[in-house]
Structure 1
């Protein structure tokens, strides 16, 4: 057996909301498969699995927020046995005492539907308790009661279904307290339980909200809503726990997308982004405060002449289709990734009092999100990518970061981060190391300045590179050599 747990997607993550399961009990999964979507303070992340096997049990249902390292599902080497308890009927009150439901009435609705089909192990143990206290209850019809609840009241006195109120249905509907008073009356009132089987759909008029107040929605739903200018708060979700699916957005009436586009959606999206940005800002602040407490930073800066590199880039781009042209940002990314081969003390992680250098360079690339906030997914094995492949990877990461389609491994992977505010006209940016990494490189805006070349004053395109590094692992001498190595590589762009 293997346990699939809530991953830590960064030093600033304490918990996550499980938004969507992409597998079910009995499904075969392989290492690297995306099996769930988790909502964090940095958005919705596609979570991968790192074991092979069959899903035995879903432990945490959709709509529940749980701490990092909480068990989400159980894997096994073989498919689950027929009739085994694999659906989280008990997850309306999660086994982990740390887990907390995001809502109360919605989880009951989903578990009611899931519990209905089946005499599971959990059901048998509960019904045996009921039989002991209320005598034999041979009739299972309460599990299969259909909609005509009003007539059921009149016909109620015939069978004595004393076990019905204590069946697993009662547990999963326990949060629906407003519908339960008849269960406490005389035995003749017990058959009103079928009413509760049809009541939950009316108890979910709105989707569950995340901890930051935003509606639960799949990444596809968010992308479609953003493309069409639709406020997710105006859509009733039909997914688990009232979460909003892509189909829900596609079914949204045209009136919600066309006439109001000019006035309503923009401010609504802005209000939503402010909530999300506030949560993200809180998470970033916590990580940066931890960094400043734990990591003894040192800082260096180095001015680089980019004239030759940018001239070469212009000439190269003229021979390329517009869609394949390179952006100036990839030149320092490539140079930094290559230079790190000779500076292992800057490429790795410091955890549990020990530094672990990384052989591959997984370059964290800081991306500013349109709604506010920052995220830094990894460009995997950046040193092994040429400029064209690096440009493709950068475009892909930026698009997915801003639409909510990043993978969990891309956030767990970075071994060093590069941050650039060049498009904002900043001369230099001095970063704060993102734990457990040990260095961050900043790239400033290329600007025209007077510069001396071969003893003559001329105008050149210059940019300031900065390095913040961890004094527990390296020192200023090695840091200075690293920046000089990046400079040398940028003077020969054709060799990058």
Structure 2
């Protein structure tokens, strides 16, 4: 039976995107995880992944057309199979067709046109406006000559190399003015309205609002901060990479270390109800991922018993899927991690109900520390635990952070820490 590959919803306010390129054609075999198309929306350029396998039976859009989210882009099935048109592809009813006398837009019109009449993607137009570029003067390399993201980026790089701007040339100075110092004109900011603008919550934003409001209104949060010395960890990590090991991030180590530590502190690996605490038998760590206009928390199942390399692969795969508006995890989380250290800020995160705790990870900074009667510069990472006081008390949370600090500081990527957890 034929199966569709849908246009993903990357961000809850996305309704359509320009189909820039097909990576497959009718008759090609497709496996799960294969990239089949490149799409540009107003805010991003992203690839479309197949979550089924089969032979390409039909491409439902031409390059240069605007594809609607959550509707089929192409059909997969057995070789030689006949495609039954999905409902979304059927022609509109006669009543609907007669309801408007406006002409049906062409593919180039649907994609949006530059002042020169050349089609352009929404993302290209936004980038051109931000960069002060005249999109009508940019040569398009997209479908049917459409201007797409790479064209605007190339034009911006070329203009920067020449020192070009879109502002009109100033008149040539007179002889007397030539001796005067030249004062550069202030940069022209794009016009903006001074009126207030109301933005109703989209679906994802509403879910986030409801859950976190519930968390702050019903969960008695308490917060504990700690600093973890990661000097030796960074040295061991670099040695691991230099010897041909897979490049794993400090965040991957934190995820694994938290999971290992939770085995010793089951009251933080728990779900909390009104009159009970459910200590979860499996440790499933969720990692907060920022997506367009929202937040998702994909979960790594049975986290302590994976190697740091497996965790690194899982985090990347889950994060990539989340940013495409998809999720690869169906397991309920038992504890979460929110890492904003890459922005140079510390965080006191809000607990994700019904979990009993969440760890906020801050930046790594150079700090002076006493060492054997002298002073040294160490790499120090800040962390903060938000915990549900119904499930745990301050001393229990403090002990968890102390154990976590020891686990991270002594973490050895050359050993199989997952096997240690299994013992």
| TM-score, with structure 1 as normaliser | 0.49
Aligned-pair distance for 1:489? Answer: 0.9
Aligned-pair distance for 1:345? Answer: 0.4
Aligned-pair distance for 1:222? Answer: 9.2
Determine if contact 2:285/2:301 at 8 Å carries over to the other structure: yes
1:264 aligns with 2:186: no
Partner of 2:216: 292
Following the alignment from structure 1 to structure 2, what is the Cα–Cα distance between the partners of residues 416 and 339?
Answer: 11
Following the alignment from structure 2 to structure 1, what is the Cα–Cα distance between the partners of residues 244 and 8?
Answer: 39
Partner of 2:317: 396
Aligned-pair distance for 1:351? Answer: 2.8
- Rg larger in structure: 1
Partner of 2:253: 331
Alignment gaps of 5+ in structure 2: 19-32, 49-60, 76-88, 90-105, 113-117, 130-147, 149-197, 418-423
Aligned residue runs from structure 1 range 354-433, under 5 A = 354-369=276-291, 371-407=292-328, 409-410=330-331, 413-426=332-345, 428-433=346-351
Partner of 1:468: 386
Determine if contact 2:6/2:70 at 8 Å carries over to the other structure: no
1:214 aligns with 2:15: yes
Following the alignment from structure 1 to structure 2, what is the Cα–Cα distance between the partners of residues 463 and 292?
Answer: 27
Determine if contact 1:216/1:244 at 8 Å carries over to the other structure: no
CA separation of 1:266 and 1:280: change in aligned 2, threshold 3 A: farther
Residue 478 of structure 1, aligned match among 376, 393, 396? 396
Aligned-pair distance for 1:469? Answer: 0.4
Partner of 2:194: none
CA separation of 1:352 and 1:407: change in aligned 2, threshold 3 A: farther
Aligned-pair distance for 1:287? Answer: 1.3
Partner of 2:241: 317
Partner of 2:172: none
Partner of 2:101: none
Once the two structures are superposed, residues 257-300 of structure 1 have per-residue CA deviations (whole angstroms, 9 ceiling, x without a partner) of 9952473365999xxxx989854333222211111111111110
CA separation of 1:392 and 1:408: change in aligned 2, threshold 3 A: closer
Aligned-pair distance for 1:391? Answer: 0.7
Aligned-pair distance for 1:456? Answer: 2.6
Determine if contact 1:366/1:375 at 8 Å carries over to the other structure: yes
Alignment gaps of 5+ in structure 1: 1-20, 24-35, 44-211
Partner of 2:206: 282
Following the alignment from structure 2 to structure 1, what is the Cα–Cα distance between the partners of residues 229 and 405?
Answer: 8
CA separation of 1:303 and 1:436: change in aligned 2, threshold 3 A: same
Partner of 1:245: 72
Following the alignment from structure 2 to structure 1, what is the Cα–Cα distance between the partners of residues 47 and 315?
Answer: 25
Equivalent position SS for 1:264: helix
Aligned-residue RMSD, C-alpha: 4.2
Aligned-pair distance for 1:454? Answer: 3.2
Aligned-pair distance for 1:398? Answer: 1.1
Following the alignment from structure 1 to structure 2, what is the Cα–Cα distance between the partners of residues 290 and 40?
Answer: 26
CA separation of 1:41 and 1:247: change in aligned 2, threshold 3 A: closer
Following the alignment from structure 2 to structure 1, what is the Cα–Cα distance between the partners of residues 3 and 199?
Answer: 27
Following the alignment from structure 2 to structure 1, what is the Cα–Cα distance between the partners of residues 243 and 343?
Answer: 28
CA separation of 1:39 and 1:234: change in aligned 2, threshold 3 A: closer
Partner of 1:444: 362
Partner of 1:98: none
1:341 aligns with 2:201: no
Following the alignment from structure 2 to structure 1, what is the Cα–Cα distance between the partners of residues 17 and 125?
Answer: 21
Following the alignment from structure 1 to structure 2, what is the Cα–Cα distance between the partners of residues 304 and 327?
Answer: 16
Partner of 1:227: 46
- The count of corresponding residues between Structure 1 and Structure 2 is 279
CA separation of 1:448 and 1:40: change in aligned 2, threshold 3 A: same
CA separation of 1:243 and 1:484: change in aligned 2, threshold 3 A: closer
Following the alignment from structure 1 to structure 2, what is the Cα–Cα distance between the partners of residues 41 and 293?
Answer: 30
Following the alignment from structure 2 to structure 1, what is the Cα–Cα distance between the partners of residues 211 and 382?
Answer: 26
CA separation of 1:483 and 1:451: change in aligned 2, threshold 3 A: same
Equivalent position SS for 2:250: coil
CA separation of 1:476 and 1:40: change in aligned 2, threshold 3 A: farther
Partner of 1:175: none
Structure with bigger helix share is 1
Following the alignment from structure 1 to structure 2, what is the Cα–Cα distance between the partners of residues 373 and 243?
Answer: 18
Determine if contact 1:360/1:383 at 8 Å carries over to the other structure: no
Once the two structures are superposed, residues 396-445 of structure 1 have per-residue CA deviations (whole angstroms, 9 ceiling, x without a partner) of 111111112314614xx11100010111111x211110111110001111
Determine if contact 1:221/1:244 at 8 Å carries over to the other structure: no
CA separation of 1:22 and 1:472: change in aligned 2, threshold 3 A: farther
Following the alignment from structure 1 to structure 2, what is the Cα–Cα distance between the partners of residues 470 and 488?
Answer: 23
Determine if contact 1:223/1:404 at 8 Å carries over to the other structure: no
Partner of 2:53: none
Determine if contact 1:223/1:403 at 8 Å carries over to the other structure: no
CA separation of 1:243 and 1:349: change in aligned 2, threshold 3 A: closer
Equivalent position SS for 2:258: helix
Once the two structures are superposed, residues 154-211 of structure 1 have per-residue CA deviations (whole angstroms, 9 ceiling, x without a partner) of xxxxxxxxxxxxxxxxxxxxxxxxxxxxxxxxxxxxxxxxxxxxxxxxxxxxxxxxxx
